[in-house]
Amino acid sequence: MAFSFEILHTDGRARHGRMHTPHGVVETPVFMPVGTQAAVKGLTPRQVADAGARIVLGNTYHLALRPGDDVVAAMGGLHRFMGWDGPILTDSGGFQIYSLAPTRKITDEAAVFRSHIDGSLLELTPERAVAIQENLGSDIAMCLDECPPFGTAPDYMAVAVRRTLLWAKRCRESHKRADQVLFAIVQGGFDLALRARCADELRALDFPGYALGGFSVGETAEQMAAALVPTAELLPAEKPRYLMGVGRPEDLLAAVMAGIDMCDCVLPTRNGRNACAFTDSGQVRIRNACHERDPAPLESGCGCYTCVHFSRAYLHHLFLAKEMLGPTLLSLHNVAFYCRLMADIREAIARGQLGKLQEARLARWRGSL
């Protein structure tokens, strides 16, 4: 089995590590761009790699519906299908249990979805979620879980945790692919006792990695930050720790400070498509009239393709003209910014200077608002 994880440096709770997968080595902490439907929106795999990304995500629910996991398997697996030769993590469809709640029904046996494409039914049992991910051939697969929204009643949150544990055991029993590892997901909302119970039972199953689900589902940034440290400490120290679906730059820093190794979010490409760029000095809204005659790049000193070749004035023009190149160029810069931020974080951990980096970055970002 070609998967392992080692911790190289620590700085407080933060860890600089190295994750070995069948498709390459990933330095952690790492940000993973999201390619829900086998594509990071608006970018080629070469652009994603050149921006600094080493691992990307795909999604079980979406790829099962279209083109079908059997099609992906027939095309040689997800790596070959999407032209990405680095590691891939696939989400199990658990997030869609939250995000597509109006179109699904859930029992202990399965989550049944009404397809958002053609109205057909998709039954996602733990066994089916694993089988889809084995067909996709990702390096890291995720257990199917139930992700309740913030504010869920305590009684139902306990039901969701019981179901998540039941499904994790069924996923573990059904997972057979030797060149793929399966990560478990800890749920429990903001009830630390419930989280601890969930983590204890999942640790006993000895998964190769563990994730925290149920964040960025309606809570405030302050509530999330307060819960990160005690929930991260519930996860095994020797295994990779993954915070799912959280991605503002300040949240990434808080996650790493709490001991998280892996994060993902659609924010870099979603904001890029909406004319918003992330920089070390804060966000730049490129549609604003102040950029109409600005010859400067999005971010001085950034080595991404966008900043090396184009001015703010040109990018401003692209969005006003509704040229598709505009969203591509801003998405490319944003992915590069996130990858560079994580590289800076890894270097700061190795030097024992992460606290200083966090203080300096937050001061600059807040000053731009």
Rounded Cα–Cα distance for residues 8 and 6 (Å): 6
Q: What is the pLDDT of residues 46-78, one digit of tens each?
A: 999 999 999 999 999 999 999 999 999 999 999
pLDDT for position 206:
98
Do residue 51 and residue 87 come from a single domain? yes
Cα distance between residue 64 and residue 68, in whole Å:
4
Q: How confident is the model over 20-55, as pLDDT tens digits? A: 999 999 999 999 999 999 999 999 999 999 999 999
Q: Is the pLDDT of residue 354 over 90?
A: yes
Do 167 and 296 sit in the same domain of this protein?
no
For residues 233 and 307, state if they share a domain: no
The answer to whether residues 258 and 250 touch, using CB atoms and an 8 Å cutoff, is no
Decide: 223 and 246 in contact? Cβ < 8 Å.
Answer: no
Percentage of the chain exceeding pLDDT 90: 98
Q: How far apart are CA 360 and CA 354, in angstroms?
A: 10
pLDDT score at 368: 59
Asked if 59 and 87 sit in the same domain, the reply is: yes
Compute φ and ψ for 256, nearest 5 degrees.
Answer: -65, -40
AA letter at 21 = T
- Residues 240, 327 share a domain: no
Determine the Cα–Cα distance for residues 229 and 25; give it in Å rounded to an integer: 27
Nearest 5 degrees, angle CA 212-CA 213-CA 218? 125
Q: How many folded domains does the chain comprise?
A: 2
Of 265, 287, 310, the position where a domain reaches its end is: 265
pLDDT above 70 coverage of the chain, percent: 99
Same domain, 15 and 38: yes
Task: Assign residue 356 a region (left: φ > 0; alpha: ψ between -120 and 50; beta: otherwise).
Answer: alpha
Residues 255 and 302 in one domain: no
What is the pLDDT at residue 2?
85
Residue 184 has pLDDT above 50, yes or no: yes
Examine the fold and report which residue of 245, 265, 285 is the final residue of a domain before the chain moves on: 265
Selected catalytic residue, list 91, 139, 251, 280: 91
Q: Which of 287, 244, 265, 232 has its CA nearest to residue 337?
A: 265
3-state SS, residue 89? strand
Tokens 């590069």 correspond to 336
Find the mean pLDDT for residues 239-252: 97
Identify the residue whose tokens are 């029993």.
173
Other Cβ atoms closer than 10 A to 186? 31
72-107 tens-digit pLDDT: 999 999 999 999 999 999 999 999 999 999 999 999
Looking at the structure, do residues 20 and 89 belong to the same domain, yes or no? yes
Q: Which of the listed residues 247, 265, 283 is the one where a domain comes to its end?
A: 265
Q: Is 264 a catalytic residue?
A: yes
* Cβ proximity of 39 and 328 under 8 Å: no
CA dihedral 333, 336, 341, 345 (to 10 degrees): 180
Predicted pLDDT of residue 57: 98
CATH of the domain at 48: 3.20.20.105
Average pLDDT, the chain: 97
Residue 147 has pLDDT above 60, yes or no: yes
The residue to which tokens 């999330």 are assigned = 224
Which member of 69, 139, 264, 280 is catalytic?
264
- Whether 255 and 333 share a structural domain: no
pLDDT at 327 over 70: yes
Strand duo 140-142 + 88-91: pairing: parallel
Q: Tell me, yes or no, whether 199 and 105 share the same domain.
A: yes
Q: Are residues 234 and 343 in the same domain?
A: no
Flag whether pLDDT at 369 surpasses 60.
no
Looking at the chain, list the stretches that DSSP marks H as alpha helix, in order from N- to C-terminal side. Answer: 45-50, 60-65, 69-74, 78-82, 94-99, 126-136, 154-174, 192-204, 221-232, 249-257, 267-273, 305-309, 312-320, 325-351, 354-367
Residues 145 and 257 in one domain: yes
DSSP state of 119: S
User: Is 100 in contact with 112 (CB distance < 8 Å)?
Assistant: no
- Domain of 347 in residue numbering reads as 272-367
Q: Is 280 known to be catalytic?
A: no
Q: Please tell me whether the overall predicted TM-score, pTM, comes out greater than 0.75 for this model.
A: yes
